[in-house]
Structure 1
């Protein structure tokens, strides 16, 4: 009886690849005293500007309790500040402090180079195709 199917092999390869990439990210951001979740929040704020706290969780795939904890840690490190929303007092925004912006100005270009190294075995068209294929798999999995 053949147990392995191409689909099961694909799942194993995708998961192992994801773990390997996450480990590269973990090692990279640890050099700056951050964990991957903290870095993903800083990266979001760096590229998208101030965000409602509840939206940060959705964008970086965290529960509301977890995002509060992560934002608290970043506030304590003086990288993030909480701001009341002028239009809705029930909403709190998070934004980068000057220290947070300076940190990301320093580390993001280096991080980008490391991510480019992860994918440097692929040609540009192969990378685009990989992204499209993974999106299709992800959308299908979400629909099940």
Structure 2
């Protein structure tokens, strides 16, 4: 009986994903944050001002849950909301100076954790991994 490589690849991918999520969750919690808090701040830190929908799409958190997280981050002074002048239904979110200062400290450390996960893996293998995962992701949304 031949080995089902698609099934094996799926299982390995899911196990690796779970392991990586646990490492990242632990790293982020070491900075006193939840993963959802970090994801929102990281999106704003790198992309600048975004609408609530754009943030939700970027971090893969549904819009119902994201409002709660944004409320908490706003109360902590890490981000602010502002209404669009042309369409009051649109709300923009942007990182505050305090939020940027936090991410200036946390993000380089977080990036180092990610770098250590890929230590010893060649750039060529990383490029292959990126390409293959994009293909799998595109198939999943067809």
TM-score by length of 1: 0.93
In the alignment, does 2:62 pair up with 1:63? yes
Kindly state the Cα deviation for residue 4 of structure 1 after the two structures are TM-superposed.
6.2
Listed as ranges, the matches of 1:26-105 within 5 Å are 26-105=25-104
Instruction: Give the aligned partner of residue 123 of structure 2.
Output: 124
Structure 2 residue 114 is the aligned partner of structure 1 residue 115: yes
Q: In 1, Cα distance between the equivalents of 2:36 and 2:2? A: 36
State how far apart, in whole Å, the 2-side matches of 1:98 and 1:142 are: 37
The structural deviation recorded for 1:3 is 9.7
SS at match of 2:88: coil
1:25 corresponds to: 24
Question: Could you say what the CA RMSD is over the residues aligned between the two structures, in angstroms?
Answer: 1.4
The normalised TM-score by structure 2 is 0.94
SS at match of 1:90: coil
Secondary structure of the structure 1 residue equivalent to 2:80: strand
How many pairs align?
Answer: 142
Q: Which residue of 2 aligns with 1:10?
A: 9
Q: Give me the whole-angstrom Cα distance separating, in 2, the residues matched to 1:101 and 1:56.
A: 16
